[in-house]
Amino acid sequence: MTTTDVTDLAAKILEGSTRGLARGLTWIEAGGPRAEALSTALYPHTGRAHIVGLTGGPGSGKSTLARALARAARARDLTLGIVAVDPSSPFTGGAILGDRIRMNDLALDPGVFIRSMATRGALGGLCRAAADAVDLMDAAGRSLVLVETVGVGQDEVDVMRIAHSVIVVSVPGLGDDIQALKAGVLEIADVHVVNKADREGASRTVAELRTMLALMPAAAGVWVPPVLSCVAAQEEGIEPILDALASHMAALKTSGELERRRARIAEARVLKIAQDLAAEAVVRPKSAAAGRLLERVARRELAPHACARAILAEGIRRP
């Protein structure tokens, strides 16, 4: 990798080159110095896209909803980037990347760019490269970026650390679905969507969500998440969801919350990168000194906490 390589690729991405964007995302997923250099070059050109996270339990239809939203957004002349995160095997690290299959009909539209990414062991519903991937799509001029999380349920809150607007998708008939939402995912939603609304019990699910939201304390003038229903597979009820997203962004700008949210996103992202760097420092090939420290822990001569701090300090000092 040379500085010229990074500069040339960054220029192609800024020009809106689909091939350049694809190559840049491959760099980002691979990680390493060239990925960091590319991200650094493009970061000053970000901040224009509306980033929307889609989260919810497995089987709620997030991919189908993302596809329907993309088609409706294209009808409004919006350009899109879609980052779809799929679960990866804990054994091989591979992933089926089924979202690419479900959105295959969008692949021929030059106004829609889809990238499926494996979690590669990351928790919280997003992979480590997701934030950088969003940056690249933002820099490439995509006006709306959809980030679909892996669908892990209650722990799927990392999306609020990357998105301006969060859609929480639920479906009727799962019994404990609303109860699960109460555990934490409910609070991160800016828009609630009850998908598969042609199923029995959909109106009850909508009513329960609205009741729960009414019971949550809210200050005057604060955005109240709407509860909308749709049948994403039939592309029914999609326009009101797009309207709600546009209204939410307008409210963020008017209230000044957008800048506060961007600041929180930046802080969370930097802290996450710092955590990853610290973890990398620990798992690098162990030095003889680190090996001796671990032996002392095994012999009960050194506490695990003290050993971890010592190894971390040594790993950060090493180049």
One pLDDT digit (tens) per residue for the chain, 319 residues: 677 899 999 999 999 999 999 999 999 988 889 999 999 999 999 999 999 999 888 788 898 999 999 999 999 999 999 998 865 433 334 444 544 555 667 778 899 999 988 755 444 435 568 899 999 999 999 999 999 886 644 445 677 788 999 999 988 876 555 555 555 667 788 999 999 999 998 998 898 888 888 887 777 778 999 999 999 999 999 999 999 999 999 999 999 999 999 999 999 888 888 887 777 776 665 677 788 888 999 999 999 999 888 887 776 555 4
Residue 188 makes CB contacts below 8 A (sequence gap 6+) with 55, 157, 159, 160, 166, 168
CA separation for the pair 245, 223 (Å, rounded): 12
Same structural domain for residues 159 and 305?
no
Q: Is residue 263 part of a domain?
A: no
Q: Which residues pair with 50 in a beta bridge?
A: 144
For residue 182, the model assigns a pLDDT of 53
Structurally, the chain folds into a number of domains equal to: 3
| 161 within domain boundaries | yes
Residues 1 and 56 in one domain: no
Q: Please indicate, yes or no, if residue 6 is contained in any of the structural domains.
A: yes
**Whole-prediction pTM:** 0.86
Report the first-to-last Cα separation within the chain, whole angstroms: 19
- Structural domain of residue 18, as residue ranges? 1-45
pLDDT recorded at residue 28: 92
Q: Are 306 and 297 in contact (CB under 8 A)?
A: no
pLDDT of residue 286: 65
Same domain for 86 and 14? no
Same domain, 194 and 308: no
- The CA–CA distances, whole Å, from 277 to 122, 200, 212, 272, 284 equal 14, 48, 40, 9, 11
Model pLDDT, residue 123:
42
